[in-house]
Amino acid sequence: MSMLDEKLQPMFEEVLRRNPGEDEFHQAVHEVLDSLGPVVAKHPEYADAAIIPRLCEPERQIIFRVPWVDDSGQVQINRGFRVEFNSALGPYKGGLRFHPTVYLGIVKFLGFEQIFKNALTGLPIGGGKGGSDFDPKGRSDAEVMRFCQSFMTELYRHIGEYTDVPAGDIGVGGREIGYLFGQYKRITNRYESGVLTGKGIGWGGSLVRTEATGYGTVFFVDEILRSRGDSLDGKKVVVSGSGNVAIYAIEKLQQLGAVVVACSDSGGYVVDPDGVDLALVKDIKERRRSRIAVYADERPRASYVEGGSVWQVPCDVALPCATQNELNGNDAAALVRNGCQVVAEGANMPCTPEAVRTFSEAGVSFAPGKAANAGGVATSALEMQQNASRDSWSFEHTEERLAEIMRNIHHRCLTTADEYGQPGNYSAGANIAGFTQVADAVLALGVI
């Protein structure tokens, strides 16, 4: 990793020393600190109060055993995590990820990102993240329910509407939130709607929450193009992934006149020159819970490429919406070669540092996840508002609130980047705007 500003490098080395083996966490911290040189030069009070070391150390980290019984009667053991990273702006807020790759370093990288992302939304939410190395793939509904119940049997004592409010992430959708909420309600004997977000519409959920991350990313891209006097109409777009973020990004892209030519899953990617048939992708992924390979069997002009990189497919706009580090330096070079103009991260940290460098050298507009995918958590905060007022808003009203939040984030990134002498640099703008907002609150609240 590149050397940082001379004041920041020793702080980063301390993070490496205290958190050995947590590569993704190191990467996320480095990426933020890389933008903060001009900030610490301008604000000596942050260094005096050790704001950066305080932000790099989670307020609380919980690791627990999750025992459950599978359908064959066998006892299974998984590991559960909740990292309550920073609560200067509000209760800890962030999703739960159920995926076999989950370990402490992943949860900490996601929790760290969440602090700044949540600050950028302008809503009163702190940062946290959790999850488990449980793999829901191939598990029956009954197994997923027993796992969720066991997970919540420990987690419930750490969360609450004023304390910590989990939601979904990879492997955690409406089904899992339902089982988690049911067990929380049973154990606590409280119908505390605001303790979890991503709930079903009939029992405290918010309209637009399901669509929000993908829609928000597309609203952000729309703003980028608008600021360049352009629009999404007729643009060729590649979206990686085919989970919740990808599906609703594709939906909004199509509504705004873009042509989505490819999407993927962890097995490979599909190219459809006629534009992706979203109803089919939804059916395969949300109902059948099957592989994207099936898509090509059912669409005559589509092709499936096993393995390989979806970023080889030529496009004007690229939206990585799958997972961390899915787009590397070579992929970025291929996108640049093929004329891609805008890249926005629908997933958390999908672009490696080499990829980000390649985009910036080539003058590609690059929107980092903490800005471009903040629409999901922002709409979670809107769900919390509705729960607190025992109200529910219409789809149109909620979507307009989301669109306005994304426009504000875009504006804040650009004006902050300008203010710090880096016009057009969305990463610098997002990191600096998110950081200064949290840093000022940490300072105000004293040494706690």
In order of 71, 138, 382, the CA distances from 148 in angstroms are: 15, 15, 25
Using alpha carbons, select from 161, 179, 163 the residue that is nearest to residue 171: 179
DSSP assignment of 378-413 = HHHHHHHHHHHTT----HHHHHHHHHHHHHHHHHHH
Site for ligand GLU in 154-173 (CB under 6 A): 167, 169
Tell me if 365 contacts ligand GLU by CB under 6 A.
no
Supply the minimum distance, in Å, between the C-beta of residue 373 and ligand GLU: 6
Residues from 190 through 219 that contact ligand GLU (CB under 6 A): 197
Between vectors from CA 15 to CA 10 and to CA 16, what angle results, nearest 5°?
95
Name the one range near ligand GLU by CB under 6 A: 10-18, 31-39, 50-58, 88-96: 88-96
Q: Which is nearer to ligand GLU, 377 or 428 (CB)?
A: 377
- DSSP-derived secondary structure for 228-284: TT--STT-EEEEE--SHHHHHHHHHHHHTT-EEEEEEETTEEEE-TT---HHHHHII
Shortest distance, CB of residue 185 to ligand GLU, whole angstroms?
Answer: 19
Which CB atom, from 4 or from 102, has the smaller least distance to ligand GLU?
A: 102
Closest CB 36 distance from ligand GLU, rounded Å: 22
Q: Please choose, out of 47-55, 247-255, 376-384, 385-393, the segment that lies near ligand GLU by the rule CB under 6 A.
A: 376-384
φ and ψ at 297, to 5 degrees? -70, -25
> Closest distance between ligand GLU and the C-beta of residue 91, in Å?
11
Question: Considering the rule CB under 6 A, would residue 94 count as an interface residue with ligand GLU?
Answer: yes
Tell me the torsion sign for CA atoms 257, 258, 259, 264.
negative
> Which stretch, 35-43, 93-101, 299-307, 387-395, contacts ligand GLU (CB under 6 A)?
93-101
Catalytic residue among 108, 129, 285, 370: 129
Per CB under 6 A, 26 contacts ligand GLU: no
Q: Which listed residue (78, 348, 416, 431) binds ligand GLU by CB under 6 A? A: 348
Q: What is d(CA 143, CA 446) in angstroms, rounded to the nearest whole number?
A: 45
199 is catalytic: no
What stretches of 34-74 adopt beta strand conformation (E)? 60-69
Q: Which of residues 388-447 bind ligand GLU (CB under 6 A)?
A: none
Binders of ligand GLU: how many residues, by CB under 6 A?
10
Asked whether the beta carbons of 250 and 286 are under 8 A apart, the reply is: no
**Complex with ligand GLU: residue 131 or 429, whichever CB lies closer:** 131
| 3 state DSSP class of 342 | strand
Which of 93, 199, 252, 410 forms a contact with ligand GLU (CB under 6 A)?
93
Check: CB of residue 341 under 8 Å from CB of residue 365.
yes
Contacting positions for ligand GLU (CB under 6 A): 93-95, 167, 169, 197, 348, 376-377, 380
Residues noted as catalytic = 129
